[in-house]
Structure 1
Amino acid sequence: MSLLKLTSVEAGYGASQVLFGIDFQINEGEVVTLLGRNGMGKSTTIKTICGLLKPRRGSVRFNGAEVAGMATERISRMGIGLVPEGRRIFPNLTVYENLVAFARPGKWTLEHAYKLFPVLEKRKDNMGFQLSGGEQQMLAIARALLTNARLLLIDEATEGLAPLIRQEIWRCLHEVKKEGQSILVIDKYVQNLIDLADRHYFIENGRIGWTGSSEQLSEQPEIWERYLGV
């Protein structure tokens, strides 16, 4: 079943158009990636889904309902959770306070989050600004999970993190996938995403240029070169 479906979505900022007819969908329980070079429209797509940016044309349907143009908080309540680029945790709240601030009843509980990220329980009384970059990213993911969203959007999952911390984030995302969580993830580490995700979309100049399964992407490294330069 299609959980999220974008059809012919166009969006931009002021006189500048960024998205030119984006089409993609995420099914229930899938992990899907959105890949591309910087400035191609990945974060703009995320903002359009979340209601931070109103599309100029096209449809954004979540769980069968049209959400294009809805207020961000209403879209969130419908079941879309965001781990934003830059993490954006509350620096002057404790880890515990960050986690419970927007928590909603459901499968993901505080205890469940602590089991997934044990370091957060150890540091639950620390302020947000006292955490390392990796710990802040874990906190941002756990905070979004505790909203018990049906769809989790992760914008730059491991950007700027040390290799060992990246490995821990990937491990945790695999665990989240096993729980049946639907996820749209943006990141640049293609091999890790191939191991994690079911399907992939490559975006170039505001248009979807290629889409396929992890198996297909693994067999076509020329796709990586064309759209990522790797």
Structure 2
Amino acid sequence: MTALLEVQGLETAYGSSQVLFGIDLRIDAGDVATLLGRNGMGKTTTVRSLLGLARARGGTVRFRGERIERLSADRIARMGLAVVPEGRQIFPNLTVAENLRAFGANRNGTRDPWTMDRVYALFPRLAERSRNMGNQLSGGEQQMLAVGRALMTNPYLLILDEATEGLAPLIREEIWQCLDTLRGQGQSILVIDKYVQRLLRLGNRHTIIERGRVVWQGGTDALAADPGLWQRYIGV
């Protein structure tokens, strides 16, 4: 079976400083995969490389069977790869509805695409705040908007980079429940986060990186059975 996303030997550098040293990663359709590791170990650089925001120095990245490591970020996005970025990065001077409308597309060709009404059903708080500007939202509401905005593109693969960072526990759980719902609908997802216990309940394929290298890969049962891995490489 052809992988939805297959990364082999990915190397990325910023100038003369190399960050990634041969990253391998595979995500099949319907997977919820996680990318784990301490801060500064290369997780966000991996995401930036997948999205075309950081140019790969070596290795290959295949998305839906097509090599993308030399394509522009715009071209990759149009192929159906969407991100909820670290720091949210919503448009502060657009309303909630305008933020969502700006990203409306049907990149995976589904007959039941994400619409504003579907996003509002997933996040009722956004419906209540639909006329508010992005800079008038709380941090949790901005994160909901960032997730909804990415879903409006109807991506084949949704990437979340530290989607629950800095959120209150109740709001964080709301985001997790949203991801549970998306998983149940068959959405393929790559999650970067530090809450291993919650990720074990959500994901089925896990990768740990340390200093730009993959140090462990496996399924949920194997990761759950070895808490020593968490302490050694994730710090929990």
Q: TM-score, normalized by length of structure 2?
A: 0.96
Aligned 1:1-230 pairs, distance under 5 A: 1=1, 2-105=3-106, 106=110, 107-230=113-236
Shift of 1:52: 0.2
Matched residue type, 2:131: D
Corresponding residue pairs, total:
230
SS in 2 for 1:5: strand
For 1:226 and 1:103, how far apart are their aligned partners in 2? 42
1:92-151 Cα deviation digits (max 9, x unpaired): 000000001011134211111111111011100000001000000000000000100100
* Runs ≥4 residues deviating over 3 A: none
For 2:118 and 2:184, how far apart are their aligned partners in 1? 14
For 1:184 and 1:130, how far apart are their aligned partners in 2? 29
SS in 1 for 2:197: helix
1:40-93 Cα deviation digits (max 9, x unpaired): 000000000000011000000000000002110100000100110000000000
Shift of 1:229: 1.6
1:185-211 Cα deviation digits (max 9, x unpaired): 100000010000011100001010001
SS in 1 for 2:216: strand
Query: RMSD of the alignment, in Å?
Result: 0.7
SS in 2 for 1:216: helix
1:5-24 Cα deviation digits (max 9, x unpaired): 00001001001000000001
For 1:93 and 1:44, how far apart are their aligned partners in 2? 29
For 1:52 and 1:9, how far apart are their aligned partners in 2? 14
Ranges in structure 2 where 5+ consecutive residues have no aligned partner = none
Percent of paired sites with the same residue = 58
For 2:178 and 2:103, how far apart are their aligned partners in 1? 21
For 1:114 and 1:178, how far apart are their aligned partners in 2? 18
Ranges in structure 1 where 5+ consecutive residues have no aligned partner = none
SS in 2 for 1:56: strand
SS in 2 for 1:153: strand
Shift of 1:215: 1.2
Q: TM-score, normalized by length of structure 1?
A: 0.99
Shift of 1:154: 0.5
